Amino acid sequence: MYAQLGFCSGNSGDPIFVEDFGSGATTPLAPGITSYTYASGQPNDGFYNVSSNTNWFGWHDIDDHTGTSSNGRMLIVNADFTPGEFYQTAISGLCENTSYEFSSWMMNLTPTSSCGGNSIPINVKFEIWDNTNTNLLASGDTGNIFSSSSPRWGQYALVFQSLPGQTSIILKMLNNGVGGCGNDLALDDIVFKSCGDNVVIEDSSNVKIAEICQDELPYESVLTATPDNSIFDSHFYQWQESIDNVNWTDISGETNNTLITSPVNRTTYFRVKVAEALINVNNDSCNLLSETFEVRVVPLPDRPVSNGDLLICEDDATPLSVSVPSGVIVNWYDAAVGGRLLLQNSTTYKPTAAGTYYAEAETVNAACLSALRTALKLEYLETPLVEDEALTFCANTSTNLSANPENPSIVTSYLWSTGEVTETISVSSPGTYSVEVANNACVVTKTIALTEIDNPVIENVTSDGKDIVIKTANVGDFLYALDGRNFQLSNRFTYVDGGLYTIYVKHQDCSEVITTEYLHFYIPKYFTPNNDGENDYFDLSGIENYASSSVSIFDRYGKLLKSGGNGPFSWDGTFNGQRLSTSDYWYVIVIDNQKFTGHVTLKR
């Protein structure tokens, strides 16, 4: 029969023929395999080489496809100018009435840039002949395989079926193209293997791998082999088992498509050999193998390894944690046995309350559980409660700063930014102070902003008529006094008799008093000498405190009525014992060479 190239659509068996051309120094093929001429170096048109390199004619310089050796060889063919056969080999050991897949890897060695970009593509025909070389059983063409900019191996295959009584064939490869610039190929890894159905094995649960926990053994089930009928018209079986998936043993008498397993107590593999004819079942050149069914025994995991109990602060986000090996997950519970599932698949757990919690190991495969759970204890330390403060203190004093926690009974230590370790400290400088208040490892920080209250600075004291007015150079909640006892908020003292006074100023929150001496002197604008006890005299109180003074009183005509100096001065409104009438009287007052003139009204 004739067919286009194609791969086995079902399952391929083990290779019964492999040609990878070996490794080592270049050597010619055995006689009869090719009609081309052997070249020990670069092969010209119509020549071939079996080599581990292709570094000629600007070809792609490649390693062989097999890749198992640094000097693995491949067949290098530089096409003859006449199309024709360049390779043939006889293959024996085939089984009759059996489908086979022939395949080979090939590469166009000519780069795209060669031959002006018009290199001749390679085009190969595969032919399968009977052992008499007279009957063509199958053939197919690769079609044109064009050059490429980089080396590119490609695999090509042909499927055919042997005839009754046929156990050997002849494989031929022919060059469909002609020689010239191009049509240069590398060929490697020729493989013959049987071709049959894909066969799937499942157990009664319709799974292809049975994962069994160690405490669930022994395992027993019915395995079923199901071919896809893509190649075979009939099916014959032989079941096998293995404990290492390498060395296999036939199971005596198990030749149906189902297998009732014996009790399995360790990891075991099952597969089935399948052939289209009964005579071929035990011939590895003729049968094929199903997929492998694994009974995988999963050991129970060790319980998780604790990373330690926790004694942490209330606001600490550190979780409880455990360690498990790869392939194991952790589930968290509130009891050593049973209990409520709190969290799945996590090696860490952050509870919302103190207590004892339990970590259980579970295998990813088969969900096998550890025999015991790991207990981890979480305790919370109460956190000290403090509040930042902004405080003031008076200048030239010291003040006490206190950590003042709301829950002092839990506090184990204090550490101030000054280095002191008591709950309260005394300071005399403004600034920002901090204190770390600790309950063992739980530490909070309190900050105190301390501001100094400035003492008043007296800028000046003035007389405004009978009032005394005190002005400070700075601003504050100041109190004022003239006697050092009776302080007032106002800086103005009204109706104050003239005289020498001590001025007292202090901050209302502080005890330190700032003082200054002030001579309060004023000239009355009128007086009423009617003996009522108020304003009976033109009295210049305080003038006696000046170093030098003189006072002269005149009537409107310039007549001197009263004079005095360098001492107290008071006039009762008389002249030579006679009471003067209501009128304005003029004065000239000289104090420390400063002259004051004006008039005072006498009222009767």
> H or E element: which one contains 358?
strand 355-363
344 vs 99, which has greater pLDDT? 344
Who contacts 116 (Cβ-Cβ below 8 Å, separation ≥6)?
Answer: none
Confidence of residue 233 (pLDDT cuts 50, 70, 90): confident
87 neighbors 48 (Cβ within 8 angstroms): no
Mean pLDDT of 198-206: 90
Q: Between vectors from CA 317 to CA 313 and to CA 320, what angle results, nearest 5°?
A: 95
pLDDT for residue 158 is more than 80: yes
Question: Is the per-residue pLDDT at 333 higher than 80?
Answer: yes
How far is Cα 254 from Cα 287, in angstroms, rounded to an integer? Answer: 16
CA–chain centroid gap for 125, Å, is 59
- CA 603 from chain centre, in angstroms, equals 97
pLDDT at 1: 33
Above 70 in pLDDT, residue 39? yes
The answer to whether residue 140 scores a pLDDT higher than 70 is yes
Between CA 1 and CA 230, with CA 124 as vertex, the angle to 5 degrees is: 40
pLDDT exceeds cutoff 70 at 15: yes
CA distance between the termini of the chain = 160
Element at 260 (helix H, strand E): strand 258-260
Confidence of residue 99 (pLDDT cuts 50, 70, 90): confident
Is residue 377 a contact partner of residue 435, using CB atoms and an 8 Å limit? Answer: no
Place of tokens 């000498």: 529
Amino acid at site 325 = P
Answer yes or no: are the C-beta atoms of 572 and 588 closer than 8 Å. Answer: no
**What angle (nearest 5°) sits at the alpha carbon of residue 490, between those of residues 485 and 492?**
95
* Spatial distance between the Cα atoms of 484 and 442, rounded to a whole number of angstroms: 52
- Give the model's confidence band at 3: pLDDT under 50 very low, under 70 low, under 90 confident, else very high: very low
Across the range 343-354, mean pLDDT stands at 96
* 545, two tokens: 């405190």
List of residues 6+ apart from 63 with CB closer than 8 A: 52, 53, 70, 72
Nearest to 597 by CA among 551, 564, 562: 551
| Predicted confidence (pLDDT) at residue 42 exceeds the cutoff of 80 | yes
* Peptide linkage before 218 cis (omega within 30 of 0): yes
Q: What's the CA gap between 268 and 264, in Å, rounded?
A: 7
b (16+ CB within 10 A) / e for 185-209? bbbbbbbbbbbbbbbebbbeeeeee
Q: Which residue has the higher pLDDT, 59 or 16?
A: 59
What is the Cα–Cα distance from 163 to 155, expressed in whole angstroms? 26
**Backbone torsions φ then ψ of 71, nearest 5 degrees:** -125, 40
Cα Dmax for the chain: 180
Query: What is the number of other CB atoms lying within 10 angstroms of the CB of residue 587?
Result: 21
- As given in the structure block, the two tokens for residue 505 are 């100023």
| Mean pLDDT score, 18-30 | 91
What are the structure tokens assigned to 34, written together? 């090719």
Q: What angle do CA 310, 312, 313 make, to 5 degrees?
A: 165
Residue 576: pLDDT band by 50, 70, 90 thresholds? very high
In angstroms, rounded to a whole number, what is the distance separating the alpha carbons of residues 171 and 160? Answer: 12
Percent of the chain with pLDDT over 90: 73
Q: Which residues contact 208 (CB under 8 A, 6 or more apart)?
A: 200, 201, 202, 291, 293
What DSSP state is assigned to residue 465? T
Q: What tokens appear for 225 in the block? A: 């082999």
* pLDDT interval class at 404 (50, 70, 90): very high
Tokens of 532: 């009522």
Q: For the chain, percent helix, then strand, then coil, each to nearest 5?
A: 5, 50, 50
How many helices and strands, by DSSP H and E, does the chain display? 0, 49
Residue 14 pLDDT exceeds 80: no
In this predicted model, what pLDDT tens digit does every residue of 487-543 receive, in sequence order? Answer: 999 999 998 988 889 999 999 999 999 999 998 888 888 999 998 888 899 999 888
